[in-house]
């Protein structure tokens, strides 16, 4: 009889807070699907149910952004959390947006065309999640030589958020009428485009490396507060602009300077950039094969951009030798 050898799945690590956020994502996705079905059966048109479904999809985007961030912050990343998150995502960001667009827009075309466009979006979203899990597993096992903080392809939560916010914008223009008229042609083009972008090689920032302790100027602080206030007060079109800007950023990102990319994606100020360059100098000196060199050792807080006076004073008086 073969003896059972415990593996990583025999006793999965289930952390409470990150998985609660994922459960919230799943609850929003399931509720959105139910609201869409209610709207389909409503003889009055079901515009109110579709508004509810749209806000539930946007709420799922919020939960999805929180679960991974909380897990990384607390050091609670696990294989269970990654798989659970993908299963929730395929419902909230795959099935729900596909049903929403198919009933509101695509059913006015040929049924075969509408079904095909919605299914291709769902299929590409599922393949995008499967590829993401493969890349994450390879990085966790150390098989990736140069791990990156970027998403390969347009993330499916952003694709769903773009579809939901665009549908909300069209409903707003038509004063709540579900028959959006000529605007439906826009979604017919957007859905295949997003399907392609999810499986493309375009890289999008995940904002995992954002340094919340870095110093920011008053201008940046004002911009962030202004965007948040406008997103709440003008929810009909500001979220759409945010998701469109993120989509277009993937196209223009290769032509943006390195300093600006770090400023946008990692939240690093000029002081943080200087500290990182100094840390790179220390690392290069440590790996050299030349004769022994005496260089001042920087404290850990210096390499992270910390402004703690105590840590910097402790780091200034120490030395190490590099052979």
Is the domain of 247 the same as that of 283?
no
**Measured on CA atoms in the order 41, 44, 47, 48, is the torsion positive or negative?**
negative
Domain boundary among 265, 293, 309: 265
Is the domain of 154 the same as that of 281?
no
Q: Would you give the distance in Å from CA 101 to the centre of its chain?
A: 22
Is the domain of 235 the same as that of 314?
no
pLDDT at position 292: 42
Q: Are 275 and 300 in contact (CB under 8 A)?
A: no
**Kind and range of the H or E element at 130?**
helix 111-140
Closest CA to 305 of 197, 209, 196: 209
Identify whether 310 is part of a domain. Answer: yes
CA gap 285, 295 in Å, rounded: 8
Is the domain of 210 the same as that of 302?
no
Q: What's the total number of domains in the chain?
A: 2
Question: Tokens in use for 72?
Answer: 């990384």
Q: Are 159 and 198 in contact (CB under 8 A)?
A: yes
Identify whether 82 is part of a domain. Answer: yes
Closest CA to 161 of 255, 59, 304: 59
Q: Are 67 and 81 in contact (CB under 8 A)?
A: yes
CA gap 122, 160 in Å, rounded: 10
CATH number, domain containing residue 102:
1.20.120.1760
Q: Which residues of 119-131 are buried (b: 16+ CB within 10 A; e: fewer)?
A: ebbbebbbebbee
Q: Which residues pair with 294 in a beta bridge?
A: 321
Is the domain of 236 the same as that of 276?
no
Identify whether 7 is part of a domain. Answer: no
Is the domain of 174 the same as that of 290?
no
**Kind and range of the H or E element at 161?**
helix 156-173
pLDDT at position 206: 80
Is the domain of 189 the same as that of 298?
no
CA gap 147, 305 in Å, rounded: 22
CA gap 36, 96 in Å, rounded: 8
Residue 57: give the domain boundaries: 16-265
At 150, give phi and psi (nearest 5°). Answer: -90, 155
Domain boundary among 265, 297, 312: 265
Identify whether 65 is part of a domain. Answer: yes
Domain boundary among 220, 250, 265: 265
pLDDT in tens, the chain (323 residues): 455 545 555 567 788 888 999 999 999 999 999 999 998 888 776 788 999 999 999 999 999 988 888 888 888 888 888 889 999 999 999 999 999 988 877 667 777 888 888 999 999 999 999 998 888 888 777 666 666 678 888 999 999 999 999 999 988 887 766 677 777 788 889 999 999 999 998 988 887 656 556 666 677 778 888 888 988 888 888 999 999 999 999 888 888 888 887 777 765 444 444 444 454 444 454 444 444 444 444 444 444 444 444 444 444 444 444 44
Closest CA to 281 of 295, 271, 267: 295
């Amino acid at each position: 009889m073969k003896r059972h050898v415990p593996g990583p799945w025999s006793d999965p690590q289930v952390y409470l807070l990150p998985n609660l956020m994922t459960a919230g994502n799943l609850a929003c996705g399931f509720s959105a699907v139910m609201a869409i079905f209610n709207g389909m059966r409503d003889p009055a048109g079901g515009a109110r149910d579709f508004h509810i479904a749209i806000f539930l999809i946007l709420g799922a985007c919020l939960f999805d952004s929180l679960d991974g961030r909380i897990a990384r912050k607390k050091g609670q990343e696990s294989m269970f959390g990654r798989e659970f998150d993908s299963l929730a995502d395929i419902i909230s960001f795959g099935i729900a947006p596909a049903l929403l667009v198919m009933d509101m827009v695509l059913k006015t075309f040929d049924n075969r065309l509408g079904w095909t466009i919605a299914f291709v979006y769902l299929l590409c979203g599922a393949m995008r999640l499967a590829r993401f899990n493969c890349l994450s597993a390879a990085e966790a096992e150390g098989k990736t030589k140069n791990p990156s903080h970027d998403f390969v392809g347009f993330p499916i939560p952003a694709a769903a958020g773009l579809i939901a916010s665009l549908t909300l914008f069209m409903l707003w223009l038509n004063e709540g009428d579900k028959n959006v008229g000529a605007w439906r042609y826009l979604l017919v083009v957007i859905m295949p485009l997003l399907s392609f972008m999810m499986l493309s090689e375009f890289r999008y920032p995940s904002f995992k490396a954002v340094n919340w302790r870095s110093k920011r100027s008053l201008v940046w602080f004002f911009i962030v507060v202004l965007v948040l206030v406008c997103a709440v007060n003008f929810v009909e079109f500001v979220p759409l602009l945010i998701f469109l800007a993120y989509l277009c950023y993937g196209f223009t990102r290769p032509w943006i300077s390195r300093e600006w990319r770090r400023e946008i994606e990692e939240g690093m100020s000029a002081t943080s950039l200087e500290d990182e360059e100094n840390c790179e100098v220390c690392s290069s000196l440590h790996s050299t094969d030349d004769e022994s060199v005496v260089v001042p050792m920087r404290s850990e807080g210096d390499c992270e951009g910390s402004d703690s006076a105590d840590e910097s004073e402790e780091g200034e008086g120490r030395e190490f030798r590099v052979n």
